[in-house]
Structure 1
């Protein structure tokens, strides 16, 4: 059993390093996209399902509450954080509308939608992207897999996809978590100084 644990750690390190080398330029570009959004006095609307939903809430909390330093809160809202709203929208309009309806109500031109998904195929995330584009919002998609997804097909040239090249959900989640930490660090450094290599 101990050897299995060591093997899992090695697979984790390998997946993380491979994704880091592949995604580093896009993560830097995504941080610039977020900083531009915030400097324009716009906000981030963030969503995901299941464990990706937990990551979206964590990202929102780190932006709003602070990451590694004391600083003002940044305008970010996890759309999946309100179970009553999601349940009401799903009951009245269908699950596929659970985020899109919130985006149409809260989103403004120049805001940024951040979706987090291991495979990019959930209908409510697809509808969220459509609603964001209708509201003239940009999209940052953290996805996984080895081929284009339903969400990928909707992204335009101004959007960014950070796709973890893995079919293993746990690997995708762990790289997404580290990616979000990297984004928080880069955002804080860009907005509040102190960036060091």
Structure 2
């Protein structure tokens, strides 16, 4: 079992290292854009399915509450949490519309949308991303190394793996880095790059 544990750790580290080496510049640009969005009164809308839905909620909590420093809350909204909205849209229309209709209702041109799909192809995430782009939101895409999301996002972050667990682990690392950098940029943390 110990070998299996160490193998999993090594694979996770390899994927994260390759991802950061390839995307560091884009991560920095995305954090700057996020900070500007919040500074100008915009908000962050987040959505995904399953583990990615949980990640959307986790990331929203980091922005709303706090991450590494004491600071005012930042407006982030996980579109995965309102069961009445989700089930009414799913029942009256289709599961494919559960995020799209929320983006239509809540998204403004100065906002950002963060779509998360490990496959890069979840129909409800793709539809919501297309709606966000149509409404003038800046789109961040968290995916694996396949799928349509990477072609649609303004900031496509494609993890170089087809293993869901490795992709999700990298997504959370990326989210934590973006939170940290955004806090530093907005609140003049001494470690600001």
TM-score (norm 2): 0.95
CA shift for structure 1 position 153: 3.3
1:83 aligns with 2:78: no
Is the contact made by 1:186 and 1:195 (CA closer than 8 Å) also made in structure 2?
no
Structure 2: where are the runs of 5+ without partners? none
CA shift for structure 1 position 137: 1.0
Deviations 1:136-183 (A, max 9, x none): 1110111112x4x2223334xxx1101111111110000000000000
RMSD (Å), alpha carbons:
1.2
Aligned to 2:150: 152
Q: Distance in 1 between matches of 2:190 and 2:58?
A: 22
Query: What secondary structure sits across from 1:166 in the alignment?
Result: coil
Q: Distance in 1 between matches of 2:149 and 2:173?
A: 21
Is the contact made by 2:52 and 2:168 (CA closer than 8 Å) also made in structure 1?
yes
Structure 1: where are the runs of 5+ without partners? none
Query: What secondary structure sits across from 2:84 in the alignment?
Result: helix
Deviations 1:3-50 (A, max 9, x none): 111111111111111111111111111111111211111111111111
Deviations 1:53-112 (A, max 9, x none): 111101100000111111110011000111221111111110111001001111111111
Q: Distance in 2 between matches of 1:123 and 1:195?
A: 42
Is the contact made by 1:90 and 1:97 (CA closer than 8 Å) also made in structure 2?
yes
Q: Distance in 2 between matches of 1:126 and 1:6?
A: 35
Q: Distance in 2 between matches of 1:174 and 1:11?
A: 11
Query: What secondary structure sits across from 2:80 in the alignment?
Result: helix
Structural mapping, 1:158-173, within 5 Å? 159-173=154-168
Q: Distance in 2 between matches of 1:152 and 1:115?
A: 11
TM-score (norm 1): 0.93
Count residues in correspondence.
Answer: 192
Query: What secondary structure sits across from 1:80 in the alignment?
Result: coil
Q: Distance in 2 between matches of 1:37 and 1:21?
A: 26
